[in-house]
Chains A and B, each alone.
Chain A
Amino acid sequence: MARIELVNLEKSYGFVKAVKGLNFTIEDGEFIVFVGPSGCGKTTTLRMIAGFEDPTGGEIRIDGRVVNDLEPRDRGLGMVFQSHALFPHKNVAQNIEFGMRMKKVPAEERVRRVREVAQMVRIEHLLEKMPAQCSGGESQRVALARTLVTNPSTFLLDEPLSSLDAKLRRELRAECDRLHQALKRTFIFVTHDQEEAMTLADRIVVMRDGEIVQVGSPMEIYSNPVNRFVADFFGSPSMNLVNGDIVQENGALRFRAPPFDIVLPERFKSAAPGKGTLGIRPESVEVGNGAKGDVELPVRLVEPLGKDTLLYFEADTERPFVAVTEGFGMAHINVGERVPLSLDHRRIQLFDATGQRVEASP
C-alpha cells in the first residue's frame, strides 16, 4: 500500500526555483511516468520523494503521513538509479543481499531470496560476478533485483534506461512492465524519453520549468495535448505545427498560413480570430488519393522506413511538413513533385496565440 501525495511541493536552490508548487497524487499500484526536457524538475521531484533532497516548501505524504523529515531508509521505498549505482567492490549476490543485511534478515533467508529475485529478473548466472564484469543491461537488472529484494512499497526509477542502447532499452522496458504487472506496486519512473513514457505509463505527468503541464493517460496526452509544448514533445515523428492566422470569413472560421487555407471544423467555433497554430499528426495526413486535398506541397525528402514511408514536404513552416504512408507505395515518388494532401479534420488540433489548446465545443 502506498499512496503518495505531493502538496504544494517546492524546491529552490538560492534564487532558482527548480520545482514550483506541485500538487499531485499517485494512487497505490499506479505506474506513473514523470517526463519532460532536462531541467524541468522531474528528477528533483523524484529525489525529494526518495528523501535525498529536502523540499523548501510543501509536503510529501505517503499513505497520509508527512515524510518530509524522514530518512530515505525509513520511507519504505526502493530506487533504481540512472548509473545503476552498484557497489563495485561487492559481487552481484552481495549487492543484492545488501538491503536485507541492513534489515538484519537471517543468512539462510537472504540466500533463498537472492536466488528468488535473481530468477525473477533472469540473472542467476551472474551471482558470482563483479559488477565490472556485467554489461550495461545486466547491471541494470542487478540494480532492479537489489531493489526488488527489499520489497519496497514504491519503486522509484530515475532514468534507469537512458544509458543503454535502443535494443536493450526496449527489452528492459518490457521487464519493468512485467514486474509492475506481477508485483502490483507503485512505480514512479522518470525519463526524458517520450516513447518510454508512452509505452510504460498508466498516467503520464508532463513537466516543464518546475511545473506540471499536463497529467493524463498516454492516449489522452497523445491525442489531446493541452498546449503546443506537449503536442510537440510527444510522438515520433512529431506533430506538424503550422503557424498562421485564424480568420472569420463568410460566417466560417478559417485557418490561413499560405499555402494552407483550411476551413476549421465546427467544434472550434469558439476560437478567437488572430494568430494561432494548427497541429496535425503525420499519420492523420493522407497523401494523394486523387482528390484535390486541403493543400498541395512539393516533396523535399522521402524516407522509407520499411513498414512505413515518411514524406517531408516543403512548406512555410519551421520544420518540414511530414506525412506517414503505409508500406513502400510512396517510396518512389520524385523529390520536387507536388502532391495533394488531405488532413483528417477530426484529428486537427488548434492552439491559440499563447500556445494553449483551443477547447472543442460540443
Chain B
Amino acid sequence: MSMTKSKSRRITTIVRYVVLSLWALMAFFPIYWIVSTSFKVDTQWFAWPPYYFPDPPTLSNYMNVWFGAEEYTQTQYAISSQKPLISLWNSTVIATISTFLSVFFGSIIAYGVSRYKILSEARMFQLLMLRMIPPIVIAAPLSLYYSAIGLLDSRTGLILVYFLTTLPYAVWMTKSFIDEVPREIEQAAEILGASRWRTIFEVVLPLIRSGLVATFLFILILTWSEYLLALILTKTDVTTLPIELSKYQGSTEGRVYGRQAALAVGITVPLMIVGLIIRKHLARGFSFGMVRR
C-alpha cells in the first residue's frame, strides 16, 4: 500500500462532497425554478433562452393569484373563476380536522394495541392495507356512495375518507411512542384512583406530547397534498389547493406558469416548514417499528 491513510481519507472526503453536492443541486434546482418563476414577469415564463433569474423580480403573480389583483400585461388571463383563498381555507379545514381525528383516535387505538393487545400483530399489519392498496380502486363506489348519502362535494366527505386512509399511519406511529412510556407510570396513576380513560388523557397522552405533534404534522403532509380523492370527491363547492392548482391548467390555453408557480409555492411552503420541523421523526413515521431508536 503506497497510499497513506490521511491521503485516502482526503480523497474519500472529496468524493463525498462532490456526490452530495451534485445530488443537492438536482434536488434543489426544480424548487429553485418554481420559486424563481413565481417572481418572473409573463414574458420570461416561456422564453428562449430561459431566464435563470427573474429580471426584474415581480410580486404581481402572487398579488394576482392570492388577492385577485387585476394587472394588465401583454396577455390577458382568464382566471376569474379561480378562488385560491377559498381553496386555502378548505384545504386548511379539511387537512387539520381529518389529521386531528386521525391522530386522536389513532393514539387511542394505539394505546389499546400497546397495552391491551386489542389488535394482534397480524391485524396491525392488515390495517396497513388501508394505506397500501391504491385508493383509486375504491374511488368510484366511494363517490357513488357519497352522492347517495349527500357527502359528495362536501368537506365532511373528504375529512372522513382522509381520516380513514391516514388512520393506519397514525396508529403505527403513535404506538411507537406509547411503547416507550413505562407501564409503571400508568399503574401508579391507576392505583392512585385514576380510571382507564383518565389514565390515557391525563398521563399517557401528555407524556407523548411531542410524539403526537410529530405524528400530527406527519399526517398533515399526507392530507394537505392528497390529490386523487379530492379530484374525485369534490366538484364545485369544495376545492382543495392541489385541485385548484390543476384548474389553472385546464381552464386556459395559454401557459400561465408564473401564476401557477405563485400558487404552487404557496401550497408547498407550509408543507416544507412542517416537514423540516419534524425531520427527526419522519423515519419513525415511515418505518412501522422496523427501525429502532
Contact = CB atoms under 8 A, between A and B. Distances in A.
Interface of A: 50-52, 71-73, 77-79, 81-83, 85-89, 98-99, 102-103, 143, 146-147, 150
B131 interface: no
Contacts of A77: 191
B185 A85 contact: yes
21 contacts: A51-B191, A72-B191, A73-B190, A73-B191, A73-B195, A77-B191, A79-B188, A81-B184, A83-B184, A85-B187, A87-B185, A87-B188, A89-B206, A89-B209, A98-B189, A99-B192, A99-B193, A102-B194, A143-B188, A147-B192, A150-B192
Contacts of A86: 185, 188
Given A79-B188, A98-B194, 9 more contacts: A50-B187, A52-B190, A71-B190, A73-B192, A82-B184, A86-B188, A88-B207, A102-B198, A103-B193
Nearest to A78: B191
A336 B184 CA distance: 53
Interface in B194-215: 194-195, 198, 203, 206-207, 209
A85 B184 CA distance: 6
Contact of B193 (A50, A51, A87, A102): A102
Contacts of A71: 190
A81 B185 CA distance: 9
A146 B203 CA distance: 15
A77 B209 CA distance: 30
Contacts of A78: 191-192
B193 A73 contact: yes
A87 B191 contact: no
A102 B184 contact: no
Contact of A72 (B184, B190, B209): B190
A255 B209 CA distance: 68
Contact of A52 (B187, B206, B207): B187
A72 B187 contact: yes
A89 B209 CA distance: 10
A139 to B, nearest CB: 12
Interface residues of B, number: 17
Interface string B56-78: 00000000000000000000000
Given A87-B203, A89-B207, A102 B187 contact: no
A77 B188 CA distance: 11
Nearest to B203: A87
Contacts of B190: 52, 71-73
Contacts of A102: 192-194, 198
Nearest to B192: A99
Given A85-B185, A89-B209, A79 B203 contact: no
A81 B207 contact: no
Contacts, number: 60
B50 interface: no
B134 interface: no
Given A85-B184, A88-B207, A146 B191 contact: no
B182 interface: yes
Q: Give the interface centre of B191, B194, B198 by most chain A CB atoms within 10 Å.
A: B191
A82 B193 CA distance: 19
Given A82-B184, A102-B198, A87 B189 contact: yes
A146 B190 CA distance: 13
Interface in B233-284: none
A143 B185 CA distance: 11
B207 A73 contact: no
Contacts of B192: 73, 78, 98-99, 102, 146-147, 150
Contacts of B203: 87
Contacts of A150: 192-193
A56 to B, nearest CB: 17
A179 B193 CA distance: 22
A78 B193 CA distance: 10
A88 B192 CA distance: 16
A81 B187 contact: yes
A156 to B, nearest CB: 8
A161 B289 CA distance: 34
A89 B205 CA distance: 10
Nearest to A88: B207
- Most chain A CB neighbours (cut-off 10 Å) among B192, B198, B203: B192
